[in-house]
Amino acid sequence: MRSFMLSARLFALVFAYSVRPCAAAETVAHGAHWTELPGSMPMNCFSGAPGQLPSAAHTRGTVFLARPLDGKGVTLTEWDLALAKVVREAKFGWPETGVQVVRAGDTLHLAVASPRVRYAAVNVETLRIAHQVDLGVGDAPILASDGALSVVSWFQLPNWYAATLDADGRILGRFHRALTPQMGGPRALQLVVLNGHAYVLVGRGDVTHLLKLSPALAVEKDVVHATNDEASLAIVSGHLVVGTNDGFDELSADLDVIGHHRHWSGGDTPLFAADAAGRIVTNYGDVFLNPAQPPVATFPVAYSADDPMPPLWVGNVPVLLHAYSPTRTVGYIEWMDLSAPDSLPPRPTPPP
């Protein structure tokens, strides 16, 4: 059912895009807005992190975008959501094409890869690099940080690797595991940091595990937890929340299952992000007040067959990022303000 509804929505969006081009800061419907981001990229691997909260100067807040831009290299851009324009930008010039960014307090943590894996801590106020570490050669970076502990994962055949760093950029531990077969798994899919520990969702296809690792990356617990390659992993109220193909699983910090929350029947597993209050937004546009309750709203996603990036929250504003490659890879951003209840779209009624 969910797949049918999503297919119908995507068909409508594909048809709409075939007769009119994307317009900057256009209102799509129900308070949802989307914009094509300036600049092109060699690959569709970029990410975002919360910027400034909504204020008089930035009425819907800002978001930091980490992108491998053509002609600029790895670039960090602060983007005003309401005005749809660049606030400021820092060009690091690195040639790497895979870029991830997360925010912890007043620091932006960057991980880049392909060809080299680099980690950098960037001051939010100045956008200057406080410290950086070259971790070697590799691809597909994944990053998590709580400020005190940062974890970077990447893979370089025949292994996948991880490293932990403290707040000063000192390496605390390294970890690697063989990929068998070489083009299969297991490999790290998602990372989070909770209570001074790293948690890694590891797997390939239908075989997935959750690992609890010490700051030095010693394995403290390894449990089989069935999900898939596209699953997200987040922290909600001190618990781990894992996406599955029919909802969310909630686990304790010791990886004990607390609850299975089923919200759809089969289909693809959405990427999602959770805020400090426990609200969740998926890349399908579903908004949940917490993992246990059904979604309170679904806003129309403004992409069809594009590649979604992990979503994020900026205060009360859920933000979706995606990339499209007709002749060049460009990024798009979509946001919706949930502080205006009258503008929330109704939940779609499932067909009989």
- The domains found in the chain, sorted by start residue, are 2-343 (2.130.10.10)
Instruction: Quote the Cα angle for 254-260-261, to 5°.
Output: 130
- How many Cα atoms within 13 Å fall on the side-chain side of residue 198? 33
Q: What is the pLDDT of residue 194?
A: 95
Percent of the chain at pLDDT above 90?
50
What pLDDT band is residue 322 in, cutting at 50, 70 and 90?
A: confident
- Residue 166 corresponds to which tokens in the numbers above? 């403290």
Torsion 174-204-69-39 (CA) sign: negative
**Per DSSP, which regions of 168-217 are E strands?**
171-178, 187-194, 197-204, 207-213
The widest CA-to-CA distance across the chain, in whole angstroms, is 58
pLDDT at res. 324: 80
Mean predicted confidence (pLDDT) in 31-42: 84
Question: In angstroms, what CA-CA distances link 225 with 95, 153, 180, 280, 312?
Answer: 36, 20, 19, 21, 24
Q: In the chain, what percentage of residues exceed pLDDT 70?
A: 80
Model confidence, pTM: 0.85
CB atoms inside a 10 Å sphere around CB 9: 17
Span of 79-83, 97-101, 211-215, 263-267 with lowest mean pLDDT: 263-267
SS3 307: strand
Residue written as token pair 């779209």: 345
More confident residue, 246 or 107: 107
The string of pLDDT tens digits covering residues 223-273 is 887 776 667 889 998 999 998 888 899 999 999 999 999 987 766 778 899
CA 243/CA 250 separation, integer angstroms: 9
183-225 pLDDT, tens digit per residue, is 445 566 789 999 999 999 887 656 778 899 999 999 999 988 7
